[in-house]
Amino acid sequence: MKSIFRNINNYLSLVKFSHTVFAMPFALLGFFTAINTGEGEFSWRQLLLVILCMVFARNAAMGFNRYADQRTDRMNPRTAGREIPAGVISSRAALLFVIINSVLFIAAAGFINMLTLALSPVALAVILGYSLTKRFTSLSHLFLGLALSLAPTGAYISVTGKFDIIPIMYSFVVLFWVAGFDIIYSLQDSEFDRRNQLLSIPVKLGPVMSLVLSALFHLASVALVVIAGLLSGSGIFFWTGTAIFALLLTWEHIIVKPGDNSSILKAFGIMNSYAGLLFCALAIADLFV
């Protein structure tokens, strides 16, 4: 029994399951925004399928990321202890994990509606493709943002079977938010990436201009939240969430200094987790008050 729990924990660690807090709240916001339009009724089955799609998609994406990066992870002192380079999970087992979760994602999407089924291979290509982008573009951060940005629109489509401007706005919020904090996160590997011909904004622009660009991305994210709120006629809970979102992102940029990586993990993990969770929780509450 202990070995079973150990194996489960190893795979949860492989995919950094705790980081699900970045995309899942926005998926739920997209789902409940759709319910609020009156074009679909609340269904526990539908909600479960949306959550399963999120879990399977993220497992596939992170598992493939670790599989694709295993050589560089082995070379980088910061990542050498990850499951594949450390021998905790074999390369073959990780690839099998990716395939299983990819199949489960498409199957779960198929149980929702025909549009989600048709779009699932496209979504899968985007979320898996991100892991290869550092090899040919400095804009890999935007590809990661794009991968996570599918959550609110995908969840909205799962209920209504169509696109709409508000969930698309939330998708752009996620795109710029994630790209901004991923630039900050990648600062800690900029020297390693430069030596190994891996591309990123910090490698291309250096720490000072990278933080400026990250701040501009986060400013765009907050601006898009404001526009979405104005378009949807949101109330006090939404605007309180927006204020908290903006303040936490601002604080993130206050504590991260160029050339000092000591606050990066705090900014990346804690600030952004609370920013996404609190904003989405209050925005969802606002829909039904």
- For residue 227, give the CATH number of its domain: 1.10.357.140
Return the pLDDT at 17: 61
**CB-based contact 239:222 (threshold 8 Å):** no
More confident residue, 3 or 131: 131
Q: How confident is the model at residue 20 (pLDDT cuts 50, 70, 90)?
A: confident
**Pairwise CA distance, residues 152 & 240, whole Å:** 20
**DSSP assigned state of 134:** G
Range of the domain at 36: 2-287
Q: How confident is the model at residue 204 (pLDDT cuts 50, 70, 90)?
A: very high
Burial (CB < 10 A; 0-12, 13-18, 19+), residue 52, is middle
Helices (H) and strands (E) in the chain, counts: 13, 0
Quote the number of domains for the chain. 1
Residue 3 confidence (pLDDT) above 80: no
Provide DSSP, 169-193: HHHHHHHHHHHHHHHHHHGGGHHHH
- Percent of the chain as helix, strand, coil, to the nearest 5: 80, 0, 20
Return the pLDDT at 4: 58
SS3 137: coil
Which residues, 6 or more positions from 192, have their beta carbon under 8 angstroms from its beta carbon? 75, 76, 78, 198
What tens digit of pLDDT does each residue of 235-250 get? 999 999 999 999 999 9
Quote the pTM value.
0.94
Residue 137 confidence (pLDDT) above 60: yes
Return the pLDDT at 146: 96
Which residues, 6 or more positions from 33, have their beta carbon under 8 angstroms from its beta carbon? 152, 156, 166, 167, 170, 232, 287
Return the pLDDT at 11: 79
